Amino acid sequence: MNHLLPLLKREMNEHRGGLLLTPFIVGGVLVLFLILGLITSLTLKIQTSFGGEIARYALQSNPELLVITAKKALQAFGLAAAAIINLTCAIVVFFYCLGTLYDDRRDRSILFWRSLPVSDALTVWSKVLIAAVVAPSIAFVAVIATQVLMWIAGSVVVLSMGGSLKAMFTGDLAGLTSVARHLVALPLHALWVLPLVGWLLLASAFAKSKPFLWAVLPPLGVAIADSWFDVTSTLSLPKNTVFKLIGERIFNDPLPMAANLSQEGVRLAGSLIPFAAAPSSVFSDWPVYLQMSSLWIGALLGVAMIVASVYLRRKSEDAY
Amino acid sequence: MSVIEAKALSKRYGTKIALDAVNLSVPAGRIVGLIGPNGAGKTTALKAILGLTDFLGELKVLGLNPHSQRDELMQNVSFIADVAILPRWIRVADLVAFTQSVHPKFDRARFDALINKTEVKSKARVRELSKGMVAQLHLSLVMAIDAKLLVLDEPTLGLDIIYRKRFYDTLLNDYFDQEKTIIVTTHQVEEIQHILTDLIFIQHGRIVLDASMDAVAERFTEVMVPAAKADLARALKPLNERQVFGKHVFLFDSVDRHTLGELGEINVPGVADLFVATMSEQAA
């Protein structure tokens, strides 16, 4: 077990660009966009938009409204940034999983790794940890960094328009709550994505070439066959079960990324009630997810596929 | 206790028999040359010994089943497979740090001493190194591991002759001791024959010769016979005959030295000649 840390370090070394730098670069670009947007809207005074001029006047004459609006805008931006960074991270993890048990077989470096006293099980599980825990946690840090920079930029603008800095950091702190929710959702996310990670690792460990096609074509094939021949209904399952299951798995991810984001957006835009007023909301996702049988069934399936990947890796001798 | 103990070790790929009921016993403190033509089963045998493939029959390496107890076995076994196959993306320093952190028998000072004799820079990535330098790096890593069994499959492929010679000298003088066992395969037999203690010839999945170098020198005799006496020599059923500068060179297996001495000049055959002779005899 004391080999786990070196293994994780090795993965991070190999995938530094994708796993470590990418979320921060994406976050940086988003901050840059926000700053550029703020500068343009301030200096050009939104000449083209008569409504914009009125809004600016209304905000400048009412510092309280200014702070509330700025906070809401920053919360929305922060959430959008979280979603974009997490989505980028998910794409990186997708390709990481597909390559990680395949690339070293292709270039035969698996023979070097397997000449060291490190078990195949621990090797594979270290990759699972990277995909399900480490990568989303790095993305989380990148989200925080991005949101802090966004708040600083926003606060400067609010200050320049006569708003109070103190008001920016007191009262409605829904942005903070959403960060806390993001943090506590990380373990849920790890459980939630296990079947996806397991499937991709299985394809990666199994494929003699083109792991991408091995990962994508079988479910796609089943889904297409399903829509043509109604395969799942003969198993007394609703039509298009495969699509539905994969879709649910992707869009119901507990991290701010997809479906939950639109709900969050609606809540943010539609109500002035701050999240901070309801402290239980930080953990509100937990009972919802923990009660889902699909979370546990999925996690079990994921573990089964990971175990199968370990077995395939042990068996992979064609590299030598 | 034997380091390697195989009884009726077999392996087939589909209809092709790679190992055909091989019996083998290698004690500790030996340097064994495993010699055979391509496709003879050398690599399959090594794979079985290293736990990289399943097999039929009985096989114990350091008292362990290499396939089912592989993780335990790899504490005391190290190997270089075929060609240098280090991961290309990694930096030398990271590779060394990783090996050090997972291998209890890795000696950092020893590695540094070995690598400092080469041109390999610790900041370089493996993909930036020449093929020879990758092999040097890999050999340095492996020699810094205090393993009970070291398996070298074509370890010097891609290296120039100066490094090859230095490598085998270091292997013999600095690395090897009575606790260790080394198995080497190579096509450049003549380069390693002086360090070997034992010789194993393998062909068509079977062991055709398994003897210590002393026994080989005892058993096989090479005689340089003038043309006039060639028929006399042939009557003694040589393994092999070739012609050098108009003289006939015969290789005999277990024929009385005294008798052979009357025919011409007696020599201990080189492993390469013995190999060619044994292989062609088996093929005939």
Contact B151, B2 (CB under 8 A): no
State the pLDDT confidence band at A267, using cuts at 50, 70 and 90: low
Residue among B67, B22, B83 at smallest CA distance from A320? B83
Tell if the CB–CB gap between B94 and A116 is shorter than 8 Å.
no
Give pLDDT, residue A299: 96
The whole model's pTM is what?
0.87
- How many other CB atoms are there within 10 angstroms of residue A244's CB atom? 15
* Integer CA distances (angstroms), A203 to A69, A133, A211, A318, in order: 48, 20, 6, 16
Question: Between chain A and chain B, how many beta carbons pairs sit less than 8 Å apart?
Answer: 71
Residue A3 touches chain B, beta carbons under 8 Å: yes
- Residue B81's SS3 state is coil
Residue among B187, B148, B174, B185 at smallest CA distance from B30? B148
Q: Which residues of A touch B89 (CB under 8 A)?
A: 14
Give pLDDT, residue A167: 82
Q: Which residues of B touch A125 (CB under 8 A)?
A: none
Please name the residue that has the structure tokens 């020198």.
Answer: B217
Contact B56, B44 (CB under 8 A): no
pLDDT tens-digit profile, chain B (284 residues)? 789 999 999 998 888 888 999 999 999 999 999 998 888 888 899 999 999 888 999 999 999 999 889 989 999 999 988 666 899 999 999 999 999 999 999 999 999 999 999 999 999 999 999 888 898 899 899 999 999 999 998 888 878 888 888 888 888 888 888 889 999 998 888 888 889 999 999 999 999 899 998 888 888 988 888 888 888 888 888 888 888 888 888 888 888 888 888 888 888 888 888 888 887 766 55
Give the whole-angstrom CA distance, residue B127 versus residue B195: 32
- For A24-51, the pLDDT digits (tens) are 999 999 999 999 888 877 665 544 455 5
Give pLDDT, residue B131: 84
Tell if the CB–CB gap between B102 and A118 is shorter than 8 Å.
yes
- How many other CB atoms are there within 10 angstroms of residue B281's CB atom? 14
Tell if the CB–CB gap between B87 and A113 is shorter than 8 Å.
yes
CA distance A115 to chain B (A): 6
Give pLDDT, residue A29: 97
Q: Which residues of B touch A102 (CB under 8 A)?
A: none
Contact A117, B75 (CB under 8 A): yes
CA distance A314 to chain B (A): 8
Tokens found for residue A240: 């298009």
- Measure CB to CB from residue B86 to each of A109, A117, A314 and give the nearest one: A109
What 8-state DSSP symbol labels residue A255?
A: S
Q: Which residues of A touch B138 (CB under 8 A)?
A: 112
Residue among B76, B122, B114 at smallest CA distance from B96? B122
Q: Which residues of A touch B53 (CB under 8 A)?
A: 317
Give pLDDT, residue B84: 60
Tell if the CB–CB gap between A117 and B81 is shorter than 8 Å.
no
Residue A106 touches chain B, beta carbons under 8 Å: no
- Greatest C-alpha distance within chain B: 68
Give the whole-angstrom CA distance, residue B34 versus residue B198: 9
* Integer CA distances (angstroms), A121 to A106, B20, B74, in order: 20, 32, 14
Tell if the CB–CB gap between A10 and B85 is shorter than 8 Å.
no
Q: Please return the burial class of A318, using the count of CB atoms within 10 Å of its CB with bins 0-12, 13-18 and 19+.
A: exposed
Give the whole-angstrom CA distance, residue B160 versus residue B156: 8
Tell if the CB–CB gap between A107 and B88 is shorter than 8 Å.
yes
Residue B268 touches chain A, beta carbons under 8 Å: no
Q: Which residues of A touch B83 (CB under 8 A)?
A: 108
**Residue B197 CB partners (closer than 8 Å, separation 6+):** B29, B30, B31, B32, B212, B213
- For A141-186, the pLDDT digits (tens) are 999 999 999 999 989 988 888 888 888 887 767 777 788 888 999 9
Chain A CA closest to residue B79: A115
- Which amino acid is located at B268 in the chain? V
- Tell me the domains of chain B and their CATH numbers: 2-204 (3.40.50.300), 216-283 (3.30.70)
- How many other CB atoms are there within 10 angstroms of residue B173's CB atom? 9
Tell if the CB–CB gap between A112 and B87 is shorter than 8 Å.
yes
Give pLDDT, residue B282: 61
Residue A36 touches chain B, beta carbons under 8 Å: no
Give pLDDT, residue A300: 97
Tell if the CB–CB gap between B74 and A113 is shorter than 8 Å.
no
- For A185-212, the pLDDT digits (tens) are 999 999 999 999 999 999 999 999 999 9
Residue A10 touches chain B, beta carbons under 8 Å: yes
Give pLDDT, residue B247: 83
Which residue, among B12, B44, B102, would best test binding to A if mutated, counting the most A CBs under 10 Å from its CB?
B102
